[in-house]
Structure 1
Amino acid sequence: MHPLEKVTIIGSGNWGSAIAKIVGTNTACHTDLFEPTVRQWVYEEILDNKKLTDIINEQHENIKYLKGVKLPHNVVAVSDLVEACKDASLLVFVLPHQFIHGVCEKMKGYLRPQARAISLIKGLEITAEGTRLFSEEISHILNIPCAALSGANIANEVALEQFSESTIGCQDIEVDGHIFKNLFNTAYFRVNVIQDHVGVQLCGALKNVVAVGAGFSDGLGYGSNTKAAIIRLGLLEMRKFGQTFFGDAVQTETFFESCGAADLITTCNGGRNRKVAEAFVLTKKPIEQLEEELLNGQKLQGTLTAREVHQFLSARNMQHEFPLFSTVYRIAYEGLSPENIIIDI
C-alpha cells in the first residue's frame, strides 16, 4: 500500500489560483491517491490591512489575482515556504521563473523521499551559450524528477470552467503520468500525457515570438490569411528549432498537442504579446514604453525571447535559417519596417 500523495502548490498568482481550484477538487475526489489537504505557498501581501493568506483561508478566494472565483475549502494558503512544502511528495510549480532558484534552494531537505514535481512555468531560458529548461533547474536543485504542463490555457477561462485542453510532458508515463493526470484532468480541463517534456516547454517559449509577428500583422491591418500564414510559418520554425538543437528529445507530434498548435493559435489571436506588438506598429512607441503603459510593469515575453533566440542563433551563424524569428527581432530592436514581417519570411 503506497502512502497517499501530499500535494503542495508553489505560487498563487492568476494561473496558480486557477490551478489550485482544479487540484483542490481532484485531490478531494481521488481520496485513494491524495491526502485531502492541499497547501499553497502564497507570497504574503497586505490588502485592506489583512494578510492575503488570511483572506484566502477565510473567504476561499484569492481576491487579488482571481477575484470572483471560489477555491475548494481543502486548499490552505501558507505564507512560510518551508511549512508549505514540508513532507510534500508532489510539488506543483506555478510562479515567475526568476524565483525558481531561490525558492528551490530554501526547499532542499524538507521534501518527502521520492518526491516529484511538475512545472507549469511556460518557456525556457535561452542564451548565446545554450538553453536551460525550467523543469531541469527544479530537478537539478531538488534532485527529484520534474514533469511539465503547458497548453492553450488562459487562466480566467479555465477558472470559469470553459473547456480547454493541456499537455503534460512526463518521462515516466505509467507511474508519474498516471498521478499527474488524476491531479489535473477534469471534464472542462482535458489533459493529455506525453513523454516529450522538452517539446512541451519549448513550445511555451517560442510561440510568444510568433505572436509578436502576428501582432505586427494586425497593426498593419492585414487580414486573416496573412495571420494564418505567419502562424503556419512560425509553427514550422518552432519545430525546426526543436529538432535542430534538441534532436530526438523533441517529437514532431508534440507540436500538434495543446502545448503546440493550440497554444500558438490562442496567443496569436489574443494575449499581451499580440496586443503590444499591434500597438508598436500603430503608435511607433518603443517596446519598453508600451510595456509600461499597457502591462502594469510586466515584461513582454515575446520580444525578450526573440532577442534571446537571436543571440543564440547568431552565436551559431544560423539566424538566416529562421527568417520569421529573425525578422521579428529586427523589427522590434533594429528599426526594420514592420512591413517586412511578410517580405522577409
Structure 2
Amino acid sequence: MEHRKIGVIGAGSWGTTLADLLAKKGHAVTLWAYEPEVASDMAQSRVNSVFLPGITLSPSLSFTSSLQEAATGKDLLLFVVPTQVLRGVINTLLPLLSPETLIVSASKGIENTTLLLVSQIYAELLPSEMYRRFAVLSGPSFAREVAQEMPTAVVAAAEEAESCRQVQKIFSTPFFRVYTNSDVVGVELGGAIKNVIAIAAGISDGLGFGSNTRAALVTRGLTEITRLGRRMGAIPGTFSGLAGMGDLVLTCTGDLSRNRSVGIALGKGKRLSEILGEMRMVAEGVKTTESTYHLAARLGVSMPITEAVYRILHEDKPAREAVIELMTRDLKAEDL
C-alpha cells in the first residue's frame, strides 16, 4: 500500500480518531488542533484528554497548532471542523493548498448564514479542478467506537469515481469498511439532518416516552430528510443506506450521541443555554436545526419534526406542547 502525507484539520473526537486510524495504517499524519494547549498535551501524553480521553494515540502521529505545518506538502487534507467555522478555515488555507491535494470532508452540517451544504461551501471556495476531486466521508460512526476498533461501515461520496476509490483505499481497515457513492448531496443531507432528528428523539426520551415514540420519530424523520433530498436533487435510495438510515438510527438511539443528549436534557426541562454551557464538544444539530428549518421554508418542503425542534430550541416552545401539536396535525396518508 502506498503511504501518503496527510493533514487532518480539526482535533475533536472524530478528527483525532481518523488521524489515529490513518497513522496506524502507516500514513504520515499531522493533526491540527485549534487550541495550542491541546496540540501540546497530545504530543506529550499521546492522548487527547479533552475530546477523546482514555484512548492512546499512535506513536507516529504528529501534532501542531500551525495550519501551515498541517497543510503544506500534503497528498490529502481531511477537514473535520464544525460547519459554522469551516469557511474561515478554508479561506485561511487556500494559499497553502497544492492543486494535486485531495480534499476530503468529514464535517456534518449546513451553514447558517448561507444555507449551503458543506460540499457547496467547498464548491464556492476551491478552484474547480480541486473541487472536481473533492470527497465527503459520512455514516454511522461514533468516534470512540472507531477508536476502540469496533467494526464500523461508512461511505465516501464524490462526483469523480476515482476520488471515491482513493478515499476508500486510504481509509479502509479490517475494522473500518468504506463503501463508495456518487450522491454527494444525499450523503451530506443524511449526515447533517440526522442530528436534528436525534435531538427530537432525545427530547422524547427526556419526556419519558417509549420505544413507540422513538420509532415514529426515526421513521418520519427519515421521510423528512428524503423529502428535502428529492427537492435538492439527491438520489432517494441514498437515504436507505449508511449515510441515511444507518447514521439516523445510530444517532437517535446511541448513548454516545451528543445531539440525543441535548434533546434528553431539553425534555427534562433544562434550558438550551445551560445545556450548551456544560458541553465542551459541539452538538452540530443545534445549529443545523436552524439552517434546515430556513432551508425547508425557502424550498417549500414540509418538515414538521424539524420545525418542532426549531421552535423548542430557538423559540422556547415547551417540548410536551410541541409533541402534542405534532400528533394532532391534520390526518393524512403516509408519504414515503
For Structure 1 versus Structure 2, the TM-score category normalised by the shorter chain is: 0.7 to 0.9
Query: Which portions of structure 1, spanning 4 or more consecutive aligned residues, are displaced by more than 6 angstroms?
Result: none
What are the superposed Cα offsets for residues 42-95 of structure 1, whole Å, 9 maximum, x if unpaired?
A: 33433xxxxx44443454333332233222233211222112211222110012
Q: Does 1:100 align with 2:86?
A: yes
Does structure 1 retain, via aligned residues, the 8 Å contact 2:36–2:65? no
Could you tell me how far apart the structure 2 residues matched to 1:137 and 1:193 are? 22
Q: Which one of 251, 254, 262 corresponds to residue 238 of structure 2?
A: 254
For residue 8 of structure 2, what is the aligned residue in structure 1? 9
Q: Does 1:301 align with 2:281?
A: no
What amino acid is aligned across from residue 304 of structure 2 in structure 1? P
Could you tell me how far apart the structure 2 residues matched to 1:221 and 1:4 are? 50
Query: What SS is found at the alignment partner of 2:268?
Result: helix
Could you tell me how far apart the structure 1 residues matched to 2:196 and 2:159 are? 27
| Structure 2 unpaired stretches of 5+ | 331-336
Q: How has the CA–CA distance of structure 1 residues 226 and 139 changed in structure 2, closer, same or farther, with 3 Å as cutoff? A: same
Could you tell me how far apart the structure 2 residues matched to 1:287 and 1:55 are? 31
What amino acid is aligned across from residue 189 of structure 1 in structure 2? F
Could you tell me how far apart the structure 2 residues matched to 1:200 and 1:68 are? 31
**Normalising by structure 2, what TM-score?**
0.85
For residue 180 of structure 2, what is the aligned residue in structure 1? 193
For residue 158 of structure 2, what is the aligned residue in structure 1? 170
Could you tell me how far apart the structure 1 residues matched to 2:41 and 2:155 are? 32
What amino acid is aligned across from residue 311 of structure 2 in structure 1? R
Q: Which one of 277, 288, 311 corresponds to residue 273 of structure 2?
A: 288
Could you tell me how far apart the structure 1 residues matched to 2:291 and 2:264 are? 21
Deviation at 1:110, TM superposition (A): 2.5
For residue 203 of structure 2, what is the aligned residue in structure 1? 216
Could you tell me how far apart the structure 1 residues matched to 2:35 and 2:83 are? 18
**Once superposed, what is the RMSD of the aligned Cα atoms?**
2.4
Could you tell me how far apart the structure 1 residues matched to 2:44 and 2:288 are? 40
Could you tell me how far apart the structure 1 residues matched to 2:59 and 2:213 are? 47
Could you tell me how far apart the structure 2 residues matched to 1:311 and 1:58 are? 44
Q: How has the CA–CA distance of structure 1 residues 76 and 299 changed in structure 2, closer, same or farther, with 3 Å as cutoff? A: closer
| Structure 1 unpaired stretches of 5+ | 29-35, 47-51
Q: How has the CA–CA distance of structure 1 residues 343 and 306 changed in structure 2, closer, same or farther, with 3 Å as cutoff? A: farther
Whichever of the two has the greater Rg, that structure is 1
Could you tell me how far apart the structure 2 residues matched to 1:91 and 1:109 are? 14
Q: Does 1:322 align with 2:298?
A: no
For residue 335 of structure 1, what is the aligned residue in structure 2? 317
For residue 234 of structure 1, what is the aligned residue in structure 2? 221
Deviation at 1:334, TM superposition (A): 5.4
For residue 49 of structure 2, what is the aligned residue in structure 1? 63
Does structure 2 retain, via aligned residues, the 8 Å contact 1:216–1:338? no
Could you tell me how far apart the structure 2 residues matched to 1:256 and 1:211 are? 17
> % of aligned pairs identical?
32
Could you tell me how far apart the structure 1 residues matched to 2:123 and 2:80 are? 15
Does structure 2 retain, via aligned residues, the 8 Å contact 1:327–1:344? no
Number of residue-to-residue matches in the alignment: 319
Does structure 2 retain, via aligned residues, the 8 Å contact 1:89–1:113? no
Could you tell me how far apart the structure 2 residues matched to 1:14 and 1:53 are? 13
What are the superposed Cα offsets for residues 205-235 of structure 1, whole Å, 9 maximum, x if unpaired?
A: 2112211221232233222122111110110
Deviation at 1:164, TM superposition (A): 1.5
